[in-house]
Chain A
Amino acid sequence: MSRLVKKSPSVCTDLPLDNADIWNKLVLLRQLLTSCFGPTARLKQVHNNIGGHVVTTSASSVLLPAISSSQPFINLIKTSILNHVSRFSDCGLFAGIFCLALIEQAKQSGLRANVSIRVNRHLLALCTSYLQREDCGCKVNLDFCSSQNLITLARSIISSKPACVLTEPEILHISKLAVQAFLLTVPCTSPGTVSLGRVVTVPVEGHPVLNSAVFPGLLVDIPDGLCLSSADHLCSSLNMVLFSASLAGDLSELGDGIIEVHQGVDTESQILDQLLELGKQVVKDEVKLFMCQKVIHPVLQQYLRSHGIIVVERLGITLMEPLTELTGAQPVAALHSVIPAKAYGKVKDLSIRQFGSKTMLHLHPVGESAICTMILCHRNETMLSELKVVCQKTEHVLRLTLREPSALLGGGCTESHLAAHVRHQTKNEVSEMVSALQCSHTEYLHGVEAFCFSLESVARALEHDGGNSLIDLTHAHHWTLPAGIMKEHMEDSLCSCGCGLVQSSPCRKWTYLNTKYAEFPPAPLLRENTVHPRVLDSFTAKLNALQVAVETANLALEVRYIIQDVN
């Protein structure tokens, strides 16, 4: 007999942005993301309510997945930011803050939603076309002949996450390692299509950060170091085999259904026999290194070791791809057939490296290979896990520079510069745009103001300690004035702008970033300038974040009803 439960009707929310509850949640989310932004950000402790593991972070890629709201509207924005982060790694917080500020400003300016959407779309196009222009004032071309700008780019990302708790020399060390690792993944000589290698990160807890290092080749953890005494000085090219199937000797891949086994039959020993057959073939084929993603039966291990083969088990799924790339082996997924000759791979050399309590087997490639391993050390687990996230993000951002070799000025300068540019540009084209966008003159100006204010609010989000954000009236760069300093002493306490390109001088004029100022064309900096920017942001990531933020905000503004199935 089946029981019938009456379904409760769906909940429909009309005009979600007018709903006080949703509005408060949006404001809260914006405050949360804003407080996580930049190098002096406040951290968040993420944990569950039953005392689970605590994660301390300010990275959007860690924080956002932990936030799950009962409100689909919040989840919509969250998912959109996370999608951006998963593709570009960087600028997640930028996208989130900008998007939420756009929604808030559009609502507060009292504009009709469709007008806001049209103006935002137009201004986005204006921004992207400016950013892609050759003479864009907030863009720097990356020169691969020198590592300086690459290190600055890496440094900006690493120093923007204070949960790593790094000192200046430590930040520099990690930045250099990140660039070094990135350069190792770019193959030197390969005709035709170039495929990049990869960086495998190995965290080691309880050691000084300055012990972190990058090695070409792969380092594989061997917890059972005891069985490897003979491998110290093995040289020349070695045959190896790599298994992706479990060699534990169990019947794990049975699937559903029941198997009937005769009482006298010992399935375990039969599988073990099969495994030993495999071992015999491997010995015959003169394999010297036997690796498996999963567990290897102890009897097989013993058999292989007694024939002088180095056995490494439990590699884990993440190491499989780099291993196949490094050795040229094809992972064997079955244990019932003969291993084909082409499945075997080769390594040139093996050595043992010790990192604290970790013993690692270092695999050197036979030819040129773009695989490298980054050993990351830190004093405790919390800081180490954040450092790992940041380093992976840096690697990704550096890769993006190969596609588009430029970077944007950091420290809030791109945002303030872009806002000044938009203000100036729109001033000149008000009448034509008003007709094109089908809105009134004031509506257009309000829309522009909302957009520019939102952009500037991202620059202002960098300050968390009561300081003031300023903009200079020549280059429109972003400056920070520490709290408690009067405007009269401004020249003394400001030495350079957020990105470090513009220096303070007596003739420079500033205004507060949240006040109205007369529009002006932001002057580009002289190119022969010997000063290098101190902070750089990823061009590709920020451009996409800009688009994601505007499109998400436009979508949010357009939502009329939320229909929620509460069953």
Chain B
Amino acid sequence: MLGSTILNGRQHVGLQKLSALAGISHSCLGPGRKYKFITDDTSGESALVCSCFRIVESLQLTCAVGQLVHETLQAHQKVYHSGSGCLLFLAGAWSRAALDCLQQGITVPQIISAMFEGMEICADVCRKCAVSTEGLGVSHKVSQASCTVQKHKVLNVSERRRVKLSRHFCESTSEYEVIPAPQLPDITHLAEGLSHNCDDTMKLVVEAIQLQSETNQQDSRRFAFDVSKVMTCVLPGLTEGHACVVQGSVFLLSAEQTSVAHHLNEQALKVALITGDLSDTYRHVGFNRPTSVQHVSDRLNLLGLSREDEWVEKAVTVLLNLEVNLILSSGVACEKVIQHCCRHHILVVEKVKASVLKTFAASTGAVPVTYVTQLTQHSVGTGVKSAIWRDLSGHKGTTAAAVSVSTARNSGLVTAVLTSCLHGKLQALEDQFWACAYRLHHALNDRALLPGAGRTEMLCIHHLQRRAEMHAKQELKGVQQTQPGTAAVLRLMADGLIDYTSTIMVNSGRFSKVSARTVVCQHVQDVNTHVSSAASFPQLLLEGDPAVKLDKAPAVEVYDNLSVKQEAWRKALDLVSLVLQTDAEVITGVGQSTDNLMML
């Protein structure tokens, strides 16, 4: 029976749900994040997760708000690979702010417009305190030598660089219109600032960039960090110290194929790229198998050859005629094909990512095809080399060797091999690697960074509170232009950010909740109006509790990503505003009526 049910949410259950859901993000914030176990009671399966996105993914949220949260996190993760914790935490904090406002009698449209004003303030703060990546780290070293305070160049709104400040420009006295080559950011310095306590993983990313830029000789001016050409390969059983970056792509092979790999070691190979499965039953996507066809025959099949055998025969003949030694397939290969190929010393690698196939196509001249039978002389690529990267036959498990495949004309393809003794940790390590890689990628793309370690947040808190005071004064005076309640909303938004910063401090293990809050509030209060730049704040998250003295090396400059942070904040606000404006759920297909549901 079909029916529709309308849930009335006058107490704003939606906001409460959002805030409750956001509770899971608390321990996933900041460098001091903790691992979590998620266990399934019915199947007994468990997963080790470390990021907010993975938790939400593992929990099967069926409620409407849960779905909305999942959808938003997924969209964010797909592009940025980090910041999902920040997104969810702020969605929760601001939904609590909205609840508070509703209780104070501020209407929904007023809350929405004030929150958007607050977001505009924060975006403005980010624009103003963003640091250009150009020459970052290079000038850092210079300033260290001359013992001056490091100053960041401020990004202009029109993104024009203030190159006059560059020492290179100052030295050249004769020319007026010299356009200096854009200074490269010091990648290790950037990486240090963006590692957020994942130093080992970040080192791998920097290695990957260096490997890539070594090969890109024609354009050494720019760091062309092409994330799409980075692969990961997870290898259980080795300790984490074995993680490294390898040129080309690394694939794991079974024992049977290892012998083939040994045979082909360090030889120039011919490669075929297959975008489908290697089996006789595979058909391209969109092909409908006939259901009403019967095969009739007037004689017995005496040869005993099945269709599959025939097909394998044909496929191998094609491969041999074209002298193919290596097949990279995005699908899987059937057992018989692999066996036949092994016999003829043809290496078959399955489940290769589409982007990797694309890179191989570009650098070897191979044309990806769907079926083996489509292969021609023209579509086979040359100049590929495979080498046994590591023989793992001593280890237990199905994989016997890891082979690295690289092309003669360097494609810029690099693989990060991630290792761990704990199988369950590999996923988290892989996530961490991508988070670091994308942080650098976005930093180089944005060409700007935000001062990290809570400094941007504190500046935002400061500005939000100042605007709130201004509104409060106007409200007292009874100025018509201000919306009533704006001051309260802005103040609560700032509280959300205070909560965020202090939670990260608590996660670092050096603060209690109360002391973290007081420290943040103290610093925000200390700011004079005329020195309101982010550099004037201490890097709170790196500091210890003043009560607990720690011996520490001089702190590194910590940065956050501009686009990632802004986008996470905006998406958090989108979530809150969608949920805040929702007053009912229409549930379709309700079978039996439940007590508190209204049926239409």
Write the residues of chain A forming the contact surface with B, with a CB cutoff of 8 angstroms: 25, 28-29, 32, 35, 40-51, 53-54, 56, 63, 66-71, 74, 162-163, 165, 167, 205-206, 226, 246, 248-252, 254, 256-264, 267, 294-295, 297-299, 302, 306, 314, 379-383, 464-466, 482-484, 492-493
Contact = CB atoms under 8 A, between A and B. Distances in A.
Given A42-B582, A44-B584, A250-B290, A263 B296 contact: yes
A53 B480 CA distance: 43
A48 B60 CA distance: 15
A380 B587 contact: no
Interface in B368-389: 369-371, 374, 378-379
A465 B109 contact: yes
A71 B116 CA distance: 42
A264 B286 CA distance: 25
B170 interface: no
A56 B578 contact: yes
Given A29-B600, A252-B288, A382 B361 contact: no
A264 B305 CA distance: 13
Interface stretch (B41-49, B61-69, B150-158, B160-168): B61-69
30 contacts: A28-B6, A32-B584, A40-B108, A42-B581, A43-B582, A44-B585, A45-B14, A47-B585, A51-B61, A51-B67, A53-B67, A67-B588, A67-B600, A68-B4, A165-B577, A205-B75, A248-B287, A250-B287, A259-B294, A261-B293, A263-B298, A297-B287, A298-B371, A299-B370, A302-B369, A379-B570, A380-B571, A381-B71, A381-B75, A484-B105
A57 to B, nearest CB: 9
Contacts of B23: none
- Those 6 A-B pairs whose CB atoms lie nearest each other, nearest first: A295-B286, A51-B62, A263-B297, A298-B370, A465-B107, A42-B583
A17 to B, nearest CB: 17
A27 to B, nearest CB: 10
Contacts of A381: 71, 75
Could you say which of B3, B112, B600 has the most chain A C-beta atoms within 10 Å of its C-beta?
A: B600
B292 interface: yes
Contact of A379 (B116, B298, B574): B574
A250 B68 contact: no
B600 A297 contact: no
Given A42-B583, A263-B296, 6 more contacts: A45-B585, A46-B588, A47-B585, A50-B589, A66-B588, A165-B578
Given A28-B598, A226-B358, A295-B284, A48 B589 contact: yes
B2 interface: yes
B547 interface: no
Contacts of B367: 302
Contacts of B62: 50-51
Contacts of A262: 295-298
A380 B77 CA distance: 12
Interface residues of B, number: 73
B75 A260 contact: no
A62 B3 CA distance: 16
A314 B287 CA distance: 12
Nearest to B299: A263
A165 B574 contact: yes
B354 to A, nearest CB: 9
B268 interface: no
Nearest to A53: B67
A262 B2 CA distance: 49
A436 B262 CA distance: 103
Contacts of B61: 51
A314 B286 contact: yes
Contact of B290 (A254, A295, A464): A254
A159 to B, nearest CB: 12
Contacts of A51: 60-63, 67
B123 to A, nearest CB: 11
A466 B107 contact: yes
Contact of B581 (A28, A163, A257, A482): A163
A290 to B, nearest CB: 16
Interface of B is mostly: mixed
A43 B584 CA distance: 7
A453 to B, nearest CB: 25
B307 to A, nearest CB: 10
B79 interface: yes
B419 interface: no
A69 B3 contact: yes
Contacts of A254: 290, 292
B531 interface: no
A376 B110 CA distance: 27
A258 B293 contact: yes
Contacts of B116: 167
B285 interface: yes
B149 interface: no
B1 interface: yes
Given A69-B600, A165-B574, A466-B107, A47 B587 contact: yes
A44 B3 contact: no
Contacts of A466: 107
A139 B14 CA distance: 41
Contacts of B67: 47, 51, 53-54
Given A56-B68, A267-B293, A44 B586 contact: yes
B600 A249 contact: no
B371 to A, nearest CB: 7
B477 interface: no
A46 B5 CA distance: 10
B591 A49 contact: yes
A380 B600 contact: no
Nearest to A489: B478
B72 interface: yes
Given A44-B586, A45-B584, A250 B289 contact: yes
Contacts of B371: 298-299
Contacts of B105: 484
Contacts of B290: 250-251, 254, 259, 267
Contact of A35 (B72, B287, B293, B583): B583
B138 interface: no
Given A45-B582, A49-B590, A250 B293 contact: no
B286 A246 contact: yes
A34 to B, nearest CB: 11
A251 B288 CA distance: 7
Given A248-B287, A250-B290, A35 B107 contact: no
A260 B296 contact: yes
Contacts of A263: 295-298, 301
B600 A54 contact: no
A54 B68 contact: yes
B581 A46 contact: no
Contacts of A71: 600
A298 B369 contact: yes
A44 B584 CA distance: 5
B587 to A, nearest CB: 5
Contacts of A35: 583-584
A40 B285 CA distance: 46
Contacts of B582: 42-45, 56
B108 A465 contact: yes
Contacts of A483: 107
Interface string B94-124: 0000000000010111101000100000000
Interface in B328-387: 358, 361, 367, 369-371, 374, 378-379
Given A252-B288, A465-B109, A226 B361 contact: yes
A256 B292 contact: yes
Nearest to A58: B581
A527 B460 CA distance: 49
B68 A298 contact: no
B600 A28 contact: yes
A128 B455 CA distance: 63
Contacts of A297: 284, 287
Contact of B588 (A48, A256, A380, A492): A48
A492 B481 CA distance: 11
A47 B598 CA distance: 15
